[in-house]
């Protein structure tokens, strides 16, 4: 299993156990992987390619972010995963995620399967949830910076 931000710091045994529950999904360009307002139970790790994150607004769908698989040896601090909120709450998805040009390869991790692993390995749970929290914090920081820049121009 290639090194991904979500799995950083996991032992070889932990990575093997996670790999056993991963399902690979080949998403074609333009495929809606996650729909805003739908309930979901899957976290996605981007193995190859890029996705766009969009939210509905009165003016139409608005691009919020582009997330991509990092190049070999690179770590994407914006995160190379999405759908992580399903691990933290049972609310509907807050954005739509669409496979970008050329499509992408995604690793699907079902919430129940992950919780099952977490029950057997609290260190695994802590490492993954701390990574999710760090990425969410970075994403909020990027949004705050973009909002401040936009406000200063207005």
Looking at the domain assignment, is residue 151 inside a domain?
no
At 149 the pLDDT is 73
Closest by CA to 76, choosing from 5, 3, 2, 1, is 5
Contact 1, 108 (CB under 8 A): no
More confident residue, 65 or 106: 106
Number of domains in the chain: 1
Residue 115 lies in a domain: no
- For 125, how many CA atoms within 13 A lie in the half-sphere containing its CB? 14
Put residue 112 in one of left, alpha, beta given phi > 0 → left and psi -120 to 50 → alpha. Answer: alpha
Structural domain harbouring 23: 5-110+120-146
pLDDT the model gives residue 146? 67
> Can you tell me the mean pLDDT for 9-22?
94
CATH of the domain at 81: 2.60.120.10
User: Is residue 101 domain-resident?
Assistant: yes
- Sequence-ordered list of residues with C-beta below 8 angstroms from that of 67, at least 6 positions apart, any chain: 46, 50, 51, 53, 76, 78, 79, 80, 81, 82, 97
Residue 89, pLDDT > 70, answer yes
Structure-token match 């049972």, residue found: 90
Comparing 135 with 112, the larger pLDDT belongs to 112
Please indicate, yes or no, if residue 12 is contained in any of the structural domains. yes
Say yes or no to pLDDT of 1 above 50: no
């Amino acid at each position: 299993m290639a090194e991904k931000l979500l799995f950083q710091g996991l032992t070889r045994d932990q990575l093997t156990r996670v790999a056993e529950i991963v399902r690979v999904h080949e998403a074609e360009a333009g495929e809606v992987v996650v729909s805003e307002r739908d309930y979901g139970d899957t976290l996605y790790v981007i193995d190859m390619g890029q996705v766009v994150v969009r939210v509905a607004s009165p003016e139409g769908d608005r691009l919020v972010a582009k997330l991509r698989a990092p190049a070999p040896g690179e770590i994407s601090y914006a995160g190379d995963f999405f759908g992580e909120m399903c691990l933290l709450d049972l609310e509907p998805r807050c954005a739509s995620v669409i496979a970008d040009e050329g499509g992408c390869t995604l690793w699907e991790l079902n919430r129940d399967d992950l919780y099952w692993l977490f029950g057997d390995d609290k260190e695994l749970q802590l490492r993954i949830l701390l990574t999710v929290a760090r990425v969410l914090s970075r994403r909020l920081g990027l949004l705050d910076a973009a909002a401040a820049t936009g406000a200063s121009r207005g």
